[in-house]
Amino acid sequence: ENPCLPFPDRVLFFTRRMTLSICYSLSAVVMLLFVVPREQTCFTWMGPHTIYVYLLQHEAFYLHDVVLKTWTPPQYTSNIAHLTVLSFYVLATLFAMLAIACWPSRYLF
C-alpha cells in the first residue's frame, strides 16, 4: 500500500464535477433548442412585461401562503392526487402570470 497514491474518492471527485457540468450544460442546450419558442405563441405578449411578474411574485407567494393558512387542503397520497395538485399549480401559475402582466396591473405602474 503506497501512501503517496490519492484516495479513490479524491480521484473521482473531478469526474463528479465534470459530470455535473456536462449535465447542467446539456440541460441549458435542451432548453434553448426545444423549449424556447421560435414563433409567436399565445403567451408571447407577456414577454416585454415579465419584469412585472418578477417584481410582484413576492405578493403572489404571500397570497399563496394566506390561502394555505386559511384553508388546509386534504392530504392524499395517491399518484392521481399528486398529479391533480401539480396541475392546479400549473393553472395557478398561469393565472398569476396573466393577472400580473395584463394591462390593468401594468396601469398601476
Ramachandran quadrant class, 80 (left: phi over 0; alpha: psi -120 to 50; beta: rest):
alpha
Residue 89: per-residue pLDDT: 87
Q: If you search the block for the grid coordinates 456536462, which residue do you land on?
A: 22
pLDDT digits (tens, 9 = 90+) for 29-66: 998 898 888 888 888 888 888 888 888 888 888 988 89
The answer to whether the CB of 45 falls within 8 A of the CB of 102 is no
Residue 28: per-residue pLDDT: 92
Global confidence as pTM: 0.56
Query: Following DSSP, what letter does each residue of 38-63 receive, concatenated?
Result: SS--TTGGGGGGHHHHHHHHHHHHHH
Residue 1 has pLDDT above 70, yes or no: no
Residue 24: per-residue pLDDT: 93
More confident of the two residues 73 and 95 = 95
Residue 6: per-residue pLDDT: 65
